[in-house]
Copies of this chain bind each other. A is one copy, B any other.
Amino acid sequence: MTETLIKVDLNGSPLDNDMVHNRWHPDIPMVAKVRPGDDFILECYDWTGGFIKNNDSADDVRDVDLTTVHYLSGPIEVEGAEPGDLLVVDFLDIGPLQENLWGFNGFFSKQNGGGFLTDYFPQAQKSIWDFKGMFTSSRHIPGVNFAGLIHPGLIGCLPDAKMLESWNKREKALISTNPTRVPGLANPPFAPTAHMGRMQGAARDKAAAEGARTVPPREHGGNCDIKDLSRGARVYFPVYVKGAGLSVGDLHFSQGDGEITFCGAIEMPGFIHLGIHSIIKGGMAKYGIKNPLFKPSPMKPNYQDYLVFEGISVDDSGEQHYLDMFVAYQQACLNAINYLKTFGYSGAQAYSLLGTAPVQGHISGIVDVPNACATLYLPTEIFEFDINPGAAGPVKMITGGVDMPVSPDK
């Protein structure tokens, strides 16, 4: 049996587990050591460390303290890895824990995190997804069932001090342009809720005050939320510190491109089985690499029949934005949501679907001034009924009575 280097206790607090951490800092102590050729398993908390429950209230989504996330398992030291190398890692398997065969998806309140369509869905909502083997379905969103494209939302190696400094500097500069914005433009270091793994005392306090928040993706990878960086993929990670320091968490059973619902994909605790394939010495310079590079898995859900929705960078008020892919993808998503509503789904259900199912979001046109063109590929096979357009018009297949719980702001 493969060794499990890090275990998690879903009945306990991640704060009591010194093999997890929730900030990026070069000084976080390694918690295990492996060599090229080794394979091993890491268990992970869900990104909130168990705060969100399998129930029919969205209060937990509304009330979650976002300064506490994400709880990452690691860092793992890889013998022989040095700054400038590429660490080649195989995602041999990823899955849920047998004692927790469910996940959650939600929208944050606009007052506490927001999300891609927060102006349209400003209140906290939640859907619970049950796992049956490879498949998932939700009691809050009838009529869909699909195979999981399981992946870690967040994985990467520890930054070095210089890179950490550049992160903090550029993000603080952004925040300073509108420091009172709700939701905030970025999340600065925040010591009180920092979990620095095995760091103690003054060293911990100093690092906690400097440690980068885990929310955004950055040069090392981090919270990329790339759905195709999934079980079966091979990844080439830049190494910044001796021993690499690979950490991982925020496992998703499934997610659509963009993770538009923010809270988030279908979020779950679980395990990841990693294999250290090799180290490419000096690989960053050899291949001109700044960010991780990967090869997708040979095995993932193969839904091929799509309905494709277009969106352009003109917002709902009719205002013209210049090649703005954010607005264009919002419009493509809203077009898909409006379409799904004609079959009986609530807007929230449709929004949640786009955040959880293996939806593709493509940057289709990015030069035809002034309009960016985004496309959203919705797989029709995940529905238990026919959602194609026809001469007769849509039949209301979802007849109501079921919706996602909502929790208005207090």
Contact = CB atoms under 8 A, between A and B. Distances in A.
Interface in A330-387: 331-332, 335, 338-339, 341-342, 360-375, 377, 381, 386
Contacts of A51: none
B260 A186 contact: no
This protein's copies in its complex: 4
Contacts of A301: 298-299
B366 A319 contact: no
A306 B295 contact: yes
Given A174-B320, A225-B373, A308-B296, A257 B287 contact: no
A405 interface: no
Interface stretch (A10-18, A165-173, A197-205): A165-173
A245 interface: no
A339 B174 contact: no
25 contacts: A1-B101, A86-B389, A88-B389, A91-B133, A92-B132, A133-B273, A134-B231, A170-B318, A170-B320, A173-B319, A185-B322, A215-B368, A217-B373, A224-B364, A228-B364, A236-B389, A260-B366, A288-B335, A288-B339, A290-B335, A291-B309, A291-B310, A293-B307, A298-B381, A361-B362
Given A226-B364, A295-B307, A325-B329, 20 more contacts: A39-B133, A116-B366, A166-B318, A170-B314, A174-B321, A219-B314, A223-B368, A228-B362, A258-B363, A262-B367, A280-B389, A280-B393, A286-B342, A286-B394, A293-B309, A293-B335, A293-B339, A295-B306, A326-B366, A362-B363
Given A218-B371, A361-B362, A363-B329, A134 B299 contact: yes
A36 B307 CA distance: 22
Contacts of A318: 166, 170
Interface residues of A, number: 130
Nearest to A231: B134
Contacts of A25: none
A312 interface: yes
Contact of A218 (B183, B219, B293, B312): B312
Contact of A225 (B302, B306, B364, B386): B364
Given A365-B224, A389-B283, A135 B293 contact: no
A134 B370 contact: no
